Chains A and B, each alone.
Chain A
Amino acid sequence: MKGFHFSILLSILFLGISSCAREKSGVQKTGTHPDIFPDYVGVTIPEGIAPLNFRIEWDSVRHSELLIENSKGKSLRVRAGQAMKIPLDEWKHLLETSKGDSLMFHLEVNRNGAWYRFSPFPVYISSDPIDYGLSYRLIAPGYEIYSKMGIYQRSLNSFDQDAIVENTLFQGSCMNCHSFRQTDAENMSLHIRGSQGGTVLLNDGNLKVLDTKTKETLSNCVYPYWHPGGNYIAYSVNKTQQTFHSANPKRIEVFDHASDIVIFDVKRNKLFSCDPLRSGKNMETFPAFSPDGKSLFFCSSKVDTLPLQVKNIKYNLLRIDFNPESGKFGSSVDTIVNASASDYTISFPRPSYDGRFIAYTRFNYGNFSIWHPEADLWLYDTETGINKPLEALNSDQTESYHSWSSNSRWIVFSSRRVNGLYTMPFIAHIDADGNAAKPFLLPQEDPDFYDMTFYSFNVPEFINQPVNMNPDRLEEAVNNEHVQLRFEERND
């Protein structure tokens, strides 16, 4: 009896194999690259990146086979269904031997019993390394009310994500504007908003909570940027309002009625500023120190009647000298990018850490680019003065926040290109001349992840190591240990 069963099993197995072999022999070539999500066709990736798992965007896919090979003859084969999940270890091994090379992805798909072979597509492996991971805020793309949210960190060479802090720890709170000193995870600033709120400062691993509103300043500190030396953080202070569009495609308009820039002296717990950064007739915001620490870039616009004249609000990119030893500013302000002259506005100037480029967001008006579908990323070359759109990175949907890797060869940016609402983190290689390669969406273990999530990836920042913020210590500091900042008037 057992023998009888065994022979039946063998027959079935044989039939199965011969059937597969027969199907595979009639593979039809599509002559096109596959339609996959995320779109990894022709992207440039770093060596230390998690597997590029993807979903085949065809209906009725039952089986699929993927062969990935490099020019040295190393390969990796995966059999799957609609969702292609590449084994982590084999992927890492393949990438280790492919630095500076390219991988070819050969994909065959069985749809309704017939096999199709797509044209192979390349993925380029840059020899430029990337940082340990990313930090971002996960928040539902809502309006005024926020449910669960948090600041999270994600290792780039795996799918591991940890919460740095979640707002469930401080009920009813919101948290935003996390920032690092040039990707340094030991020097971080973030704001907790709400009744227990404050600015959390992680300075060389030591944690303290600051109350940043003073009677001399407009508001609590808002948009941050660390001085490369770590002794200062530039913040904007803003009187912000939001209102809501009634007709598609725009949803929200956020604008400032007034804003200034202040510098926080980390060691002395003091804020200071200067007249050009606190001008009454202009609004100054989005500060960013140059990598040598001797300049402060910022955006500035004339004040107008809001929200009626919101379309008249156009910010330019300006620069002022800064002496990190004395903490004094220069007397003159230079215009770096005169966006208003071409009827545009800009936000988020971010100098590359090698000092060569300034990436920024350009859009039609205002300062809150995330709700502007026309917002695109631009690059200003400080050596040549060439100012150009990063066309390889832009789409017909919003591209907004962006930050550089520590070696200035990678940029991570938020984009709404996938569905027009949920912000997702894309990473792109930028070469030494400012040429951008096709960006890739941060890989997730489950290719359906971005469809199923309720969260936007907000303010993606590179980090050089995991952030070590003890939530118990944070809770204690937020609840009991606030340091009130003082504003220092200066006459220089």
Chain B
Amino acid sequence: MLKKISLSGLSSLFFGLVIFLFFGLFYAFHLHYQEQYQLFLFTAHYFFERVMQPGGLSNYLGAFFTQFYFYPWIGSFILATLLIFFQRILLGTARNLGAAKNFFVLSFFPVLMYWGLLCDENYLTGGLVAILFVSLSNYLYTFSRSGTVKILFILLGIPLLYLIAGGSVLFFFLFLLIYELNEKTRSWKFLLLFNLLGVLLILTIPFFLKNRLGMFPPVSSFLGVNYFRFPINFPVIVVVIGFLLVALPFVSKYLSSRQFPLKKSILIVQVIVFLLFGSWFIHRSVDFEREEIMEYDFYVRMRKWEEIIHKAEVKTPQSPLSVTCLNLALGKKGQLGDRMFEFFQKGDEGLIPDFVKDFTIPMVAGEVYYHLGLINTAQRFSFEAMEALPDYQKSVRTIKRLAETSLINGNYVLSKKYLKILQNTFYYRKWATYLDRAMKNEDLINQHPEYGVLRRMKLDRDFFFSDQEKDMMLGIIFSEKKSKLVFEYLMAYCLLNKDIQHFVQYFPLGETLPYFTIPRHFQEALVYAWDVSKSEVIKDIPYPINREIQSSLNKYRKVYTSQSNPQSLLRKDFGDTYWYYFHFRN
């Protein structure tokens, strides 16, 4: 069986497998990330809205594929298939031009580069689809030698490809141009006509369609396809890949027809260069720190609190967003007061991030407010995150959250609106249908383990939100709803801000909460507060403090006060205490 497959075919399969495993094993949360920031709908309106702009079909197909990224292995398979399809088309084009078999490795270079691009979460699948369309058109072009067919390719191909793949059509025309210049049998009249038609169409069609198929500034209008999430950034590397896909088939052909040193071992040379370049390019493209943040965020989205804590136990998170996710998980599992300083903390920024006009931070911060019962704020943050998407997409995660917040707020009509939208999606249809039906039974909602609880935690008393007064807000919520999570967040907020005075002031608020013992870090803060203000700590402190914590503080104090550089000495035994955070963390 394997004998029937050529070396190039085996290489493609192997390369595809590597890409598949890479995204499936190491980059799965980038795929989840992509999926949440779009909303693919199986409706005619969505189709026409997306398709009726330059490059619209590529964007549409890109979004179609991306919806399956919720299942990373399917997403990995899709990406690997698209990239290998790209490579095989390039190889086919080169072969049709007369390239020798042993130059097949060259066709992997542009594919490798696009793989690298896709490691950046802001490069979208639609761009790859557009490049595929152009490559496929180039490939098809090489099958015919008839002048009439070629003219038809120009006349129909350029307008059609512009509509399908946007400004990438330029690479189609360039390929055709070089191809025809290489054709020695063409008359100068044919070439003149061919070039004139091509240039005319390339210049006039985008000009004619500008502001007719959507209103965009000149560069965006010409590009059409959303290669990059931020339309303001010009995708330079895509242009490089575009030139490569034009040039490589001709380069392969040229090299095949020439004699030069190393030609006999050209395959080995290509493989070595490819491996070296590939390793470097992929290494510089991947960002595992972002992958980690995305993983934390995904677990929050899926309410996988134990996975978050377990992950942090293996490697403590460093970025504010990951720490936010971890603190929420600790809070949800009732461990915030006992364990938060076992992990790296990033001030109140890592507890409840401030609002910024961005599509990632408010999404995570909104999760925190949601679980704290600040439903209006959760709704706002999620909505704002969606509206901040620079490519004007809607977010399926946000729409789901809006359905939930409307439901919790009791606005069933509004919730049903969002659910109806979700009923036109692939993955969320079942959930939306279930919730839509559940709304007919109020008791079912009230007894729901999440919505029922949040409904009971929902604020009755209104106040204006203030990012600068989070402790005040938490205090108001707690005074109304007596939520343990809110209390622990209020305490944690004071601790993280090293605001011992307010910690001590707010602490008695929680006396009615069902604690067997005071959480460890709260004890540490209390005992420290009394330590710095009173002489006889145990005697004066009005709360039950564990003797071990008291003696631990005595040991800590001894080192702290007697050593000139106590941090390194204290880290080992006291690195997971509040005292260490208080003194040594910024």
Q: Do A and B bind each other?
A: yes
Which residues in A have some Cβ–Cβ distance to B below 8 Å?
Answer: 140, 142-148, 150, 163, 165-166, 168-171, 243-251, 253, 307, 418-422, 446, 448, 451-452, 454, 471-472, 475
Q: Which of B232, B387, B389, B411 contacts A420 (CB 8 A)?
A: B411
CA distance A166 to B463 in the complex (A): 35
Q: Which of A144, A248, A307, A451 contacts B357 (CB 8 A)?
A: A144
Cβ-based interface call for B241 (8 A)? no
Q: Which of B215, B220, B376, B458 has the most CB of A within 10 A?
A: B215
User: A140 to B387, Cβ gap below 8 A?
Assistant: yes
Contact with A along B278-303 (1 / 0, CB 8 A): 00000000000000000000000000
Across the two chains, which residue of chain B brings its CB closest to A244? B465
Q: Which of A142, A169, A451 contacts B215 (CB 8 A)?
A: A169
User: B421 to A143, Cβ gap below 8 A?
Assistant: no
Known A-B contacts A144-B357, A145-B357, A454-B394; the reply to A247 vs B232 at CB < 8 A is no
User: A251 to B414, Cβ gap below 8 A?
Assistant: no
Across the two chains, which residue of chain A brings its CB closest to B385? A145
Chain A residue contacts of B536, Cβ below 8 A: none
User: B410 to A248, Cβ gap below 8 A?
Assistant: yes
Across the two chains, which residue of chain B brings its CB closest to A479? B217
Q: Which of A166, A244, A307, A418 contacts B376 (CB 8 A)?
A: A244
CA distance A400 to B414 in the complex (A): 19
Q: Which of B380, B387, B392 contacts A244 (CB 8 A)?
A: B380
User: B410 to A143, Cβ gap below 8 A?
Assistant: no
Across the two chains, which residue of chain B brings its CB closest to A145? B387
Known A-B contacts A168-B215, A170-B217, A171-B231; the reply to A248 vs B458 at CB < 8 A is yes
Cβ-based interface call for B515 (8 A)? no
User: A446 to B45, Cβ gap below 8 A?
Assistant: yes
Contact with A along B374-391 (1 / 0, CB 8 A): 111101100110111100
A-B contact pairs, 29 of them (CB 8 A): A142-B383, A144-B357, A145-B357, A147-B387, A147-B392, A150-B215, A168-B392, A171-B217, A171-B231, A245-B463, A245-B465, A246-B464, A247-B458, A247-B462, A247-B463, A248-B410, A248-B459, A251-B379, A419-B411, A419-B417, A420-B413, A420-B414, A421-B411, A422-B417, A446-B45, A448-B420, A451-B420, A452-B43, A472-B211
List 3 tightest A-B contacts by C-beta distance, closest first.
A247-B462, A169-B215, A471-B211
User: B462 to A452, Cβ gap below 8 A?
Assistant: no
Chain A residue contacts of B411, Cβ below 8 A: 248-249, 419-421
CA distance A472 to B389 in the complex (A): 26
CA distance A6 to B212 in the complex (A): 51
Q: B355 → chain A, closest Cβ, in Å?
A: 8
Q: Which of B357, B376, B388, B389 has the most CB of A within 10 A?
A: B376
Chain A residue contacts of B357, Cβ below 8 A: 144-145
The number of A-B residue pairs with CB atoms under 8 Å apart is: 115
Q: How many residues of B contact A (CB 8 A)?
A: 45
Q: Which of A165, A166, A169, A247 contacts B461 (CB 8 A)?
A: A247
User: A243 to B465, Cβ gap below 8 A?
Assistant: yes
Q: A322 → chain B, closest Cβ, in Å?
A: 37
CA distance A248 to B387 in the complex (A): 21
User: A143 to B374, Cβ gap below 8 A?
Assistant: no
Chain B residue contacts of A420, Cβ below 8 A: 411, 413-414
Across the two chains, which residue of chain A brings its CB closest to B415? A419
Within 8 A of A (CB), among B340-385: 357, 374-377, 379-380, 383-384
CA distance A471 to B215 in the complex (A): 8
Cβ-based interface call for B332 (8 A)? no
Across the two chains, which residue of chain B brings its CB closest to A196? B217
Across the two chains, which residue of chain B brings its CB closest to A253? B464
Chain B residue contacts of A249, Cβ below 8 A: 409, 411
Cβ-based interface call for B216 (8 A)? yes
Q: Which of A144, A168, A246 contacts B384 (CB 8 A)?
A: A144
CA distance A418 to B412 in the complex (A): 11
CA distance A120 to B11 in the complex (A): 72
CA distance A247 to B394 in the complex (A): 25
Chain B residue contacts of A143, Cβ below 8 A: 380, 383-384, 387
Known A-B contacts A419-B413, A471-B215; the reply to A246 vs B462 at CB < 8 A is yes
Q: A58 → chain B, closest Cβ, in Å?
A: 14
Q: B390 → chain A, closest Cβ, in Å?
A: 8
Chain A residue contacts of B461, Cβ below 8 A: 247
Chain A residue contacts of B232, Cβ below 8 A: 171
User: A168 to B216, Cβ gap below 8 A?
Assistant: yes
Q: A370 → chain B, closest Cβ, in Å?
A: 16
Across the two chains, which residue of chain B brings its CB closest to A148? B392
CA distance A471 to B462 in the complex (A): 44
Q: Which of B376, B384, B413 contacts A245 (CB 8 A)?
A: B376
Cβ-based interface call for B460 (8 A)? yes
Q: Which of A148, A165, A419 contacts B414 (CB 8 A)?
A: A419
Chain A residue contacts of B435, Cβ below 8 A: none
User: B392 to A452, Cβ gap below 8 A?
Assistant: no
Contact with A along B130-162 (1 / 0, CB 8 A): 000000000000000000000000000000000
Cβ-based interface call for B214 (8 A)? yes
Across the two chains, which residue of chain B brings its CB closest to A446? B45
Cβ-based interface call for B473 (8 A)? yes
